A and B are shown apart, each in its own frame.
Chain A
């Protein structure tokens, strides 16, 4: 059996990739993808520990996460479309009207 550390390392790596994407990219689609990566990193953790403890709660939770991610993508794409209509671009820094 693969030790849980490997999963954790994998998850941490994927999470960091997602985080890096969010911090550096300005394209809203890439944003959305990075968020998906981070969510999946969390999912990997949940599943790994679920296997490790022999308990299905973690897997159940990961199913919830997926459903959530799907909903989020649906809304996210909607927002991106609106962004594109309003600014002619999908650059997240353009939409700064919530500024102080």
Chain B
């Protein structure tokens, strides 16, 4: 029987075909190939919905799907290769949910681009839509990947697409530079990831995510003392230590793509790309890829407490660190960029503290509200004739109400205000970190504290952005008379605004605990799936191997959940309230001077860029120039030296060629005499 799973490859291939169509035929098509992209992503979206319904069991029993489609290498009969490298599909609750998110956001971004790019008279549209198509296809390929190698390959292709799209306006100076930086910084992370992939193959002989022979399952068996013979650890390390090393190596790629400290520096620069691309990158594709990867192989990470602790710490720190930088930014997209980094920090925090569901939940809600915010910002930017400085805006509320209300919905979700979606997911993230911290992992409490503090900053910068953009009096002529936007901008905003409001209702943990209703749909959703890939299995693993257990404050789990929710809501409101008092005035002024010397540090992003640019530019180039001098001088010098020795001796010896025939004759005679003498001496003539 033909089911949804038979069409899963089409979810990936449709956007790929739209890439080909837009690239080669785009200039002959109306709208520069946009329609191809919209059709393709709409098709992918419909197929994804069908897939999700199939996984959920609406078409019979709930099923998952794992299928190897293509053997990339090592498939020949009698091959000496120790393992095959394959491409395959893994459709389970996690990946099908992600498919839905990606296709939905990609579809909306395509539609929005009609307003942002076509209506604004951009050139190079076929290239733009080709890039979007390839971007979507790569991300979808990554999502459905059933093994780590395939995931890596599409991960890299995502990086390529981000390069092409961030550098879309290549005739200017800044975008190509930002594109280069994005690729290079993430490439640095991918270097570790690639070693990790290779190490996984060397250790397990497979990189499959799911099944009995998958590497998380083999690792688990090795740690449990069963079947450890199949696992080949390197450098004489014991399995636990070696798995930690491998996990950290793969984590390098995650830190790069998900813009975690210290490889987050590319992301704010990536704002040079067109705004719909920013929405796609930040909400659903590239940056999400890192976190998704950790979730995808969570069965492996859950085995190594050190890795989990590092993930949690990096996440918590990044959440706070990025949030503080978002506080002082002047451009609307910069604020959103830092909020993205911060929000992905929360997801990492959740993953590190054993909150697999919380991380997935936040990944989903964030995708909706961040896409909404970026598209809203795009709408504002259209209105402001591509001026992104918030200090030139103000009072846009009355002139563009649709944008305002949708943007507000997204902001409330981002700040984590009850009952918007961000509240539920962020609350669950913090709850997981708290209870596992209380349950005997005090390190998690520190990460939790950072995450909690970041809530305040999030509330502050979010509403600072809202007030500066939409409230008060218009501060420039463009803000007084903004450019209008059409349905193709408003439509995606409306869809996303609805999702940003309601998406949290699928997993209202505190409400469920309070009322005892069975409304934790996401928990149920992620609890089924292939064996070894379920949330229950993951919590067993974190419990057994990382000693994560639930500890509570007063009132048991319910009380802890309520207290945690109340505290984070309170902090968010406090942040928002501070923003309200400072910036919701008719003529707001910058208050950054009150920060004192911290202001410079924040404006300069803690000098993270400086030292990385210094490393890449001055140190690396300095070394390379030194190497070049060494090469030209010493290595090539030796070669040229050898040749000049022979040239020099040649030039000396040739002086016996006087050109006078008599001299040659004399030399000949001398030679003859010498020969005779030698011959005579040898023959004993003179004795």
Tell whether any CB of A sits under 8 Å from a CB of B in the complex.
yes
- B642-670 residues at the A interface, CB under 8 angstroms: 654-655, 657-662, 665-666, 669
User: Closest CB of chain B to A21's CB: distance in Å?
Assistant: 10
> B655: nearest residue on chain A (CB-CB)?
A100
* Inter-subunit contact B669/A19 (CB<8 Å): yes
* Inter-subunit contact A99/B658 (CB<8 Å): yes
* Inter-subunit contact B662/A22 (CB<8 Å): yes
User: Closest CB of chain A to B668's CB: distance in Å?
Assistant: 9
User: Closest CB of chain A to B632's CB: distance in Å?
Assistant: 32
Q: How far is the CA of A97 from the CA of B659 in the complex (A)?
A: 6
> B665: nearest residue on chain A (CB-CB)?
A22
Partner of B659, one of A19, A23, A99: A99
Contacts of A23 on B, CB cut-off 8 Å?
A: 662, 665-666, 669
Contacts of A26 on B, CB cut-off 8 Å?
A: 662
- B609-656 residues at the A interface, CB under 8 angstroms: 654-655
User: Closest CB of chain A to B610's CB: distance in Å?
Assistant: 62
* Inter-subunit contact A92/B654 (CB<8 Å): no
> B666: nearest residue on chain A (CB-CB)?
A23
Q: Mark A1-24, 1 if CB is under 8 A from B, else 0.
A: 000000000000000000100110
Partner of A96, one of B659, B665, B666: B659
Contacts of A97 on B, CB cut-off 8 Å?
A: 659
- B454-507 residues at the A interface, CB under 8 angstroms: none
* Inter-subunit contact B658/A96 (CB<8 Å): yes
Q: How far is the CA of A93 from the CA of B665 in the complex (A)?
A: 12
* Inter-subunit contact A92/B660 (CB<8 Å): yes
Contacts of A74 on B, CB cut-off 8 Å?
A: none
Q: How far is the CA of A93 from the CA of B658 in the complex (A)?
A: 10
- A42-99 residues at the B interface, CB under 8 angstroms: 92-93, 95-99
Contacts of B654 on A, CB cut-off 8 Å?
A: 100
Measured as residues with beta carbon below 8 angstroms from the partner, the interface class of chain A is 10 to 19
* Inter-subunit contact B666/A92 (CB<8 Å): no
**Secondary structure dominating the interface of A:** loop
User: Closest CB of chain A to B363's CB: distance in Å?
Assistant: 82
* Inter-subunit contact A96/B660 (CB<8 Å): yes
**Total A-B pairs, Cβ < 8 A:** 32
Contacts of A96 on B, CB cut-off 8 Å?
A: 658-660
Measured as residues with beta carbon below 8 angstroms from the partner, the interface class of chain B is 10 to 19
Contacts of B660 on A, CB cut-off 8 Å?
A: 92-93, 96, 99
Q: How far is the CA of A78 from the CA of B657 in the complex (A)?
A: 24
Most A-side CB within 10 Å, residue of B657, B662, B669 = B662
Contacts of B665 on A, CB cut-off 8 Å?
A: 22-23
Q: How far is the CA of A40 from the CA of B370 in the complex (A)?
A: 110
* Inter-subunit contact A93/B657 (CB<8 Å): no
Contacts of B657 on A, CB cut-off 8 Å?
A: 98-100
* Inter-subunit contact A92/B669 (CB<8 Å): no
Q: How far is the CA of A96 from the CA of B658 in the complex (A)?
A: 7
Contacts of B658 on A, CB cut-off 8 Å?
A: 96, 99-100
Q: How far is the CA of A93 from the CA of B660 in the complex (A)?
A: 5
Q: How far is the CA of A85 from the CA of B603 in the complex (A)?
A: 91
Q: How far is the CA of A25 from the CA of B659 in the complex (A)?
A: 16
* Inter-subunit contact B662/A93 (CB<8 Å): yes
Contacts of B662 on A, CB cut-off 8 Å?
A: 22-23, 26, 92-93
> A34: nearest residue on chain B (CB-CB)?
B665
User: Closest CB of chain A to B649's CB: distance in Å?
Assistant: 13
Contacts of B659 on A, CB cut-off 8 Å?
A: 95-100
Contacts of A93 on B, CB cut-off 8 Å?
A: 660-662
User: Closest CB of chain B to A60's CB: distance in Å?
Assistant: 26
Contacts of B661 on A, CB cut-off 8 Å?
A: 31, 92-93, 95
Q: How far is the CA of A92 from the CA of B669 in the complex (A)?
A: 18
Contacts of A100 on B, CB cut-off 8 Å?
A: 654-655, 657-659
Q: How far is the CA of A97 from the CA of B657 in the complex (A)?
A: 10
Q: How far is the CA of A92 from the CA of B662 in the complex (A)?
A: 8
Q: How far is the CA of A93 from the CA of B657 in the complex (A)?
A: 13
User: Closest CB of chain B to A91's CB: distance in Å?
Assistant: 10
Q: How far is the CA of A95 from the CA of B655 in the complex (A)?
A: 17
Q: How far is the CA of A23 from the CA of B665 in the complex (A)?
A: 7
Q: How far is the CA of A23 from the CA of B654 in the complex (A)?
A: 21
User: Closest CB of chain A to B163's CB: distance in Å?
Assistant: 61
Q: How far is the CA of A95 from the CA of B659 in the complex (A)?
A: 7
User: Closest CB of chain B to A34's CB: distance in Å?
Assistant: 9
Q: How far is the CA of A98 from the CA of B655 in the complex (A)?
A: 11
Q: How far is the CA of A31 from the CA of B666 in the complex (A)?
A: 13
Q: How far is the CA of A19 from the CA of B669 in the complex (A)?
A: 8
User: Closest CB of chain A to B658's CB: distance in Å?
Assistant: 6
Q: How far is the CA of A99 from the CA of B654 in the complex (A)?
A: 9
> B672: nearest residue on chain A (CB-CB)?
A19
Q: How far is the CA of A98 from the CA of B664 in the complex (A)?
A: 12
Q: Give residues in A with beta carbon < 8 Å to B.
A: 19, 22-23, 26, 31, 92-93, 95-100
Can you pick out 26 interface pairs between chain A and chain B where the beta carbons lie within 8 Å of each other?
A19-B669, A22-B662, A22-B665, A23-B662, A23-B666, A23-B669, A26-B662, A31-B661, A92-B661, A92-B662, A93-B660, A93-B661, A95-B659, A95-B661, A96-B659, A97-B659, A98-B657, A98-B659, A99-B657, A99-B658, A99-B659, A99-B660, A100-B654, A100-B655, A100-B658, A100-B659
Q: Give residues in B with beta carbon < 8 Å to A.
A: 654-655, 657-662, 665-666, 669
Known: A93-B662, A96-B658, A100-B655. 15 other contacts (CB 8 A): A19-B669, A22-B665, A23-B662, A23-B669, A92-B661, A93-B660, A93-B661, A95-B661, A96-B659, A97-B659, A98-B657, A99-B657, A99-B658, A99-B659, A100-B657
**Top 4 A-B residue pairs of the complex, sorted by shortest distance between their CB atoms:** A99-B659, A96-B659, A100-B654, A100-B657
